[in-house]
């Protein structure tokens, strides 16, 4: 875990989901690979060629933004897969319950955090997939707000998902802390917006957040 910045009086925590609220590298990889495979199938092109093209787009777009990489959704959009299509593919191809199970320690940590902070989940997956994932982990009730790709049709690291989460929670951006496993996608823009930022390495770090933020 690495704390980049904490506001003096934070009121809300904005959590990424994938790679942040669970430790399952196979599921994280699957979510990328299944979309790349679908793109290759639709285009009738070799999978390895499409995979290389997607990775190149992520790097090139990230460089234009002054970052190491960008999100898969942004890369797919650059390759002609609009975000509405990306949402539809994800809703059809990703079933979180096949990969995730209830995490009592995560629920306990989030329950403690929710006693002091408003909690939101901000993800590049559609809200339907996000809701299923939170339900599979047994933590859906801990989040007052869930922002998915289909709420703004802007993929993190765009600012709009973070701004919408803060607005729906009724707090200022300067009172929010973004928590995620990818600096470029989950933290860089929030920090630029004056939010706090904490980089975590999966649920094992989230378990430790109450000691850091609540005491």
pLDDT of residue 113: 98
13 and 61 in a single domain? The answer is no
161 and 195 in a single domain? The answer is yes
132 and 204 in a single domain? The answer is yes
74 and 150 in a single domain? The answer is no
13 and 35 in a single domain? The answer is no
pTM of the model: 0.94
16 and 60 in a single domain? The answer is no
112 and 209 in a single domain? The answer is yes
Domain coverage including residue 206? 2-24+102-213
Q: SS3 of 81, please? A: coil
pLDDT of residue 69: 80
pLDDT of residue 65: 78
- State the total domains in the chain: 2
Q: Which residues pair with 197 in a beta bridge?
A: 5, 178
pLDDT along the chain (215 residues), means of 10: 97 98 95 97 97 94 83 91 95 98 98 98 97 98 98 94 98 98 95 98 97 93
Domain at 117, CATH number: 3.40.50.1000
Tokens of 3: 């704390």
What lies within 8 Å, CB to CB, of 82 at 6+ separation is none
């Amino acid at each position: 875990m690495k704390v980049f910045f904490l506001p003096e009086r934070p009121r809300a925590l904005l959590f990424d989901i994938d790679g942040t609220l669970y430790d399952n590298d196979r599921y994280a990889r699957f979510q990328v690979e299944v979309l790349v495979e679908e793109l290759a199938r639709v285009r009738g092109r070799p999978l390895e060629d499409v995979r290389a093209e997607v990775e190149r787009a992520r790097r090139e777009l990230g460089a234009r933004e002054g970052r190491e990489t960008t999100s898969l959704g942004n890369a797919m959009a650059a390759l002609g897969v609009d975000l509405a299509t990306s949402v539809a593919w994800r809703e059809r191809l990703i079933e979180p319950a096949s990969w995730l199970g209830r995490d009592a320690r995560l629920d306990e940590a989030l329950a403690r955090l929710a006693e002091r902070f408003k909690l939101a989940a901000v993800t590049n997956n559609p809200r339907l997939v996000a809701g299923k994932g939170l339900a599979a982990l047994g933590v859906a009730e801990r989040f007052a707000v869930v922002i998915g790709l289909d709420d703004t049709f802007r993929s993190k690291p765009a600012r709009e998902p973070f701004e919408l989460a803060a607005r729906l929670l009724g707090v200022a951006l300067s009172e929010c802390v973004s928590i995620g496993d990818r600096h470029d996608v989950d933290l860089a823009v929030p920090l630029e917006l004056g939010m706090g930022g904490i980089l975590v390495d999966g649920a094992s770090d989230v378990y430790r957040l109450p000691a850091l933020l609540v005491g």
